């Protein structure tokens, strides 16, 4: 059993021994091959979800799983209801099946099984939902103005909000920025190991850069405790921020602003993509900025940015604007 999973208070001690052994070997392989901690946690959770279900049906070994059992599992997930009474979304079911297929693919490649029961999985059709809360340009400006820039942490927060808005980076990407990732002269930021372990270079606007520079000049030296710390944005203890604290910060300022829209750091990502498309940006440039591997993911925002479509509709639709005539005033034919 991999050392990283062998703890005194093992939360998985109730799992069937062979299932547990093969699961932990797979998780160890993911770590060795540089999969993100988030991916490893999600794979573990979703596979344990299946193992629990299979164990209740007398299945104790990976090689006892059949294609028919996988189909039964799919049907069960479709009818399953969570504690809040809601069903699993298609996205959640796809995640569970994808993790299962990855595990069984690994088992087959490592000759732990001879037949992969997940090969013929037919995945549910995933919903492509539009973002619920899109900030307008004035709402973004209202939100960004919330930090008290007369205080060190307020100035830091303003610099972070400006960076999120200008670059549309994810919260985890902001948290792991290093001082040397900023190229002030060329107005660029290097985002290292973004989603999918991909690096990308993105522009940062002059306004955001000015706020970051003010933070670097006036605040970061005060927060810095360990001279070897390279994180760009620091906590009062001198360490890097974690993604959850960034979301909590944004939610605090959203509430403080009075904007009646829910969300955290992704509010800026959604707003930037939508507003850039409304202002005429090519969707492929927005795709590069967001770091989307699939253009279809970016195209969601083309459905949200309705401004250009509305203008074209007004200019070209044959139904001309006309005031409704009052009853009794219609001319007789």
Catalytic residues: 170, 195, 266, 269, 292, 301
Backbone angles phi, psi at 226, to 5 degrees: -95, 115
Name the strand (E) or helix (H) holding 203: strand 200-203
Q: Are 90 and 100 in contact (CB under 8 A)?
A: no
Contact of 100 with 46, CB cutoff 8 Å: yes
Q: What angle do CA 256, 257, 258 make, to 5 degrees?
A: 95
User: CA 180 → CA 103, 128, 201, 231, distances in Å?
Assistant: 38, 37, 13, 9
CA distance 298 to 287: 6
Using an 8 Å Cβ cutoff, are 164 and 268 in contact?
yes
* CA 189 – CA 194 distance, rounded (Å): 12
Q: What does the alpha-carbon distance between residue 233 and residue 297 come to, in Å, rounded to a whole number?
A: 29
DSSP-assigned letters across all residues of 101-158 = HHHHHHHHHTTS-SS-TTTT--PPPPP-PPPS----HHHHHHHHT-S-TTSHHHHHHH
């Amino acid at each position: 059993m991999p050392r990283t999973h062998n703890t005194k208070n093992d939360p998985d001690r109730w799992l069937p021994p062979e299932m547990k052994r093969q699961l932990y070997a797979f998780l160890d392989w993911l770590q060795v091959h540089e999969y993100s901690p988030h991916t490893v946690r999600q794979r573990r959770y979703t596979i344990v979800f299946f193992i629990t279900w299979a164990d209740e049906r007398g299945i104790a070994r990976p090689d006892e799983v059949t294609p028919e059992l996988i189909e039964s599992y799919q049907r069960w997930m479709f009818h399953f209801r969570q504690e809040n009474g809601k069903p699993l979304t298609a996205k959640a079911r796809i995640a569970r099946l994808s993790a299962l297929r990855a595990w069984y693919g690994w088992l087959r490649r490592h000759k732990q099984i001879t037949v992969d029961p997940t090969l013929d999985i037919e995945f549910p059709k995933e919903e492509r939902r539009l973002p619920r809360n899109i900030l307008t340009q004035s709402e973004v400006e209202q939100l960004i103005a919330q930090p008290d820039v007369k205080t060190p942490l307020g100035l830091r927060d303003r610099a972070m909000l400006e960076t999120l808005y200008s670059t549309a980076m994810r919260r985890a990407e902001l948290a792991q920025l290093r001082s040397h990732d900023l190229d002030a002269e060329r107005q660029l930021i290097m985002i290292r190991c973004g989603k999918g372990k991909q690096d990308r270079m993105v522009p940062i606007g002059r306004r955001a850069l000015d706020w970051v520079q003010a933070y670097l000049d006036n605040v970061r030296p005060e927060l810095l405790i360990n001279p070897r710390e390279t994180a760009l944005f620091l906590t009062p203890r001198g360490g890097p921020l974690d993604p959850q604290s960034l979301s909590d910060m944004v939610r605090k300022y959203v509430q403080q602003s009075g904007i009646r829209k829910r969300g955290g750091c992704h509010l800026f990502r959604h707003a930037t993509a939508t507003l850039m498309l409304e202002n005429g940006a090519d969707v492929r440039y927005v795709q590069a900025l967001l770091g989307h591997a699939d253009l279809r993911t970016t195209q969601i925002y083309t459905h949200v940015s309705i401004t250009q479509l509305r203008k074209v509709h007004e200019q070209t639709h044959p139904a001309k604007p006309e005031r409704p005539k009052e009853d009794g005033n219609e001319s007789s034919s």
